[in-house]
Structure 1
């Protein structure tokens, strides 16, 4: 009988979950349909997704292919190793991490968040870390994820200097996130003696075999292929998340005419809510338009999707160098961590620390945006 009651309780819980989901799902779309008209709503969703795919996703994919090839070349011919040599002395004072951690930052900057997990599982890499430091690599690596893509995309919009300011803000945010995570996890994880950790830091080799020409050709082709994979991976986030965010961010194309079922139309719910906190957003980030809060919100789940919002904001005249700096800092530091942190910590075997990692990284991303804003105000 106990098995029957357990099954009944499980079925009841799943049924309740389904009803709650249907309530919010149908309520959301019934509200939008009542405001826009059902036909206009469906047309807007389809046309927005199509335009995002053709004019944003493929543009971002072009960037990821080029940056992927560049990143692979930098790794293949030792530039990353050279940069690691100069960055390694900064790791201990800034992040309380051994020097080899700089390699993780460079690898995630050139690719994406999960690259740090591949390194963390390498015995020649993780032997230099204490348990609480290994856990903090999730926050540390995520703060640099897709960094080259984000900076290149913002620079392609004509804001190279602002993108560099945002990069500086992301570095500060990464320090805050990593240190907070270490502080939270140090109390929960066993300590080991310093003489059990480290030793002479040996280099992890990424050099392939063959002539210089063969290595060059293989590097650009393999890196470009990685860029294609990354570009394909962002499609669901851009089409689904961005379409939904935009439909609650922008109003009708022409207020006098009303809804026409055009791309990027919607019901401006998000700006209306953000308007209540406009003074806070203005002081923290320098946002003059409440619609801009859509970028940080989208960055929580997918930075590729967040990038797709920028051209639309630019066409509306919402973008200045300050916004680009803040977007770069938050987008790079958060880089969709809500969708990756759980899997990353689970892969490391520290699922119990997921909530602490998410909280620490939320604070780090906010600090990154605030620092980027005030750096821009100070120097520009």
Structure 2
């Protein structure tokens, strides 16, 4: 027992030492380039500016989109869309028609919405085991979709956002099918077929009261959900976006040097991306290496990635193609690194996490490539 405890303590001490070393090297690198005072001032100024100018703006969108989404659910629009989209589920995603409801729920809210449905007995009886597990990839491909599209449309790029939506659908199709193929014969899954089918009517949403009361309750409940979602993205935007911006942008005025202003940084990511700029330009049509910061940030949180766009606009990096690719990859990835683990763990399939992450990484890249080339094709015939 003493030997085990000593081994554990030694491991934790080594881990702590390595963490301190990495932390020192990271901030030491930034501090030597920017100056310690300038670095601290930039971190605080960037976080404050993101909170006031970006987070509150996104929260406004989440509140409004949450109210709209709840209204669409309350008055049966989501079920109508499910009925219309159901025939596409099998040929596109190899999923039963009721899976359309899961995609719509995550589109109007966030990734974890698919888990509530996946745990519903009536809902899951439509799926084979490997299809049920692949819902994590399918649902994530549309997470926060309404928020992302509304944000992009608010910047004056509705057409490009629609191209991005098509890219997200394609990426979700690739991710879902890759996941299904990789786990179909997995011994972890219980290969059993349900003897009785679920009653689709049990999946409907109950409504009480007259139309006006339902309308009022829907917009208030949906708005509250939007507030919760807006609050949930604050840590990601302030922490992840601040770090990414420190590694993306340079001094506000190169002639003067670092001044401790918001959004200053050391341009490490553009430097690295610039070494293979031809690759990103061919894949995604990125004309500026700084733009790779968006998909990188989307891996952890799409809300944080949205926080980068306004600064990109100020720098003159944004065009319709970038918006299309951002929408596709932002929706498809939508922070899957931070949600896939919890989602599969809650479903009892933790050993399959690595397969889900690999499949979705490929799916997100395909979403961006598809959106870029679709935008190029559509631009031949119309102006987006």
Range class of TM-score, shorter chain:
over 0.9
Partner of 2:382: none
Please tell me the root mean square deviation across aligned C-alpha atoms, in Å.
1.0
Q: TM-score, normalised by structure 1?
A: 0.98
Does the Cα contact within 8 Å between 1:109 and 1:144 map onto a contact in 2?
A: yes
Instruction: State the Cα distance separating 1:197 from its structure 2 match.
Output: 6.2
Partner of 2:316: 317
Give every structure 1 segment of 4 or more consecutive aligned residues whose post-TM-superposition deviation is greater than 4 Å: none
Partner of 1:190: 190
Does the Cα contact within 8 Å between 2:122 and 2:199 map onto a contact in 1?
A: no
Partner of 2:67: 69
Within 2, Cα distance between the matches of 1:190 and 1:204? Answer: 24
Instruction: State the Cα distance separating 1:228 from its structure 2 match.
Output: 0.2
Within 1, Cα distance between the matches of 2:43 and 2:347? Answer: 38
Partner of 1:107: 105
Partner SS state of residue 203, structure 2:
coil
Does the Cα contact within 8 Å between 1:104 and 1:141 map onto a contact in 2?
A: yes
Partner SS state of residue 7, structure 1:
helix
Does the Cα contact within 8 Å between 1:281 and 1:287 map onto a contact in 2?
A: yes
Is 1:345 aligned to 2:359, yes or no? no
Partner SS state of residue 150, structure 1:
helix
Partner SS state of residue 134, structure 2:
helix
Partner of 1:178: 176
Partner of 1:329: 328
Partner of 2:368: 369
Is 1:245 aligned to 2:244, yes or no? yes
Does the Cα contact within 8 Å between 2:207 and 2:214 map onto a contact in 1?
A: yes
Is 1:166 aligned to 2:181, yes or no? no
Q: CA 1:344 to 1:128, structure 2 compared with 1: closer, same or farther past 3 Å? A: same
How does 1:118-267 map onto structure 2 within 5 Å? Answer: 118-188=116-186, 189-193=189-193, 196=195, 198=197, 201-267=200-266
Does the Cα contact within 8 Å between 1:130 and 1:197 map onto a contact in 2?
A: no
Does the Cα contact within 8 Å between 2:122 and 2:197 map onto a contact in 1?
A: no
Does the Cα contact within 8 Å between 1:49 and 1:243 map onto a contact in 2?
A: yes
Within 1, Cα distance between the matches of 2:143 and 2:270? Answer: 28
Within 1, Cα distance between the matches of 2:353 and 2:331? Answer: 20
State the Cα deviation string for residues 292-344 of structure 1 (Å, max 9, x = none).
00000000000000000000001100000000000000000000000000000
Q: TM-score, normalised by structure 2?
A: 0.97
Instruction: State the Cα distance separating 1:184 from its structure 2 match.
Output: 1.0
Q: CA 1:36 to 1:197, structure 2 compared with 1: closer, same or farther past 3 Å? A: farther
Within 2, Cα distance between the matches of 1:153 and 1:21? Answer: 37
Within 1, Cα distance between the matches of 2:198 and 2:51? Answer: 49
Q: CA 1:66 to 1:199, structure 2 compared with 1: closer, same or farther past 3 Å? A: closer
Q: CA 1:339 to 1:197, structure 2 compared with 1: closer, same or farther past 3 Å? A: farther
Within 1, Cα distance between the matches of 2:160 and 2:246? Answer: 28
Within 2, Cα distance between the matches of 1:87 and 1:129? Answer: 17
Which residues of structure 1 form unaligned runs of 5+?
Answer: none
Instruction: State the Cα distance separating 1:172 from its structure 2 match.
Output: 0.2
Within 1, Cα distance between the matches of 2:279 and 2:7? Answer: 45
Within 2, Cα distance between the matches of 1:237 and 1:274? Answer: 23
Partner SS state of residue 252, structure 1:
coil
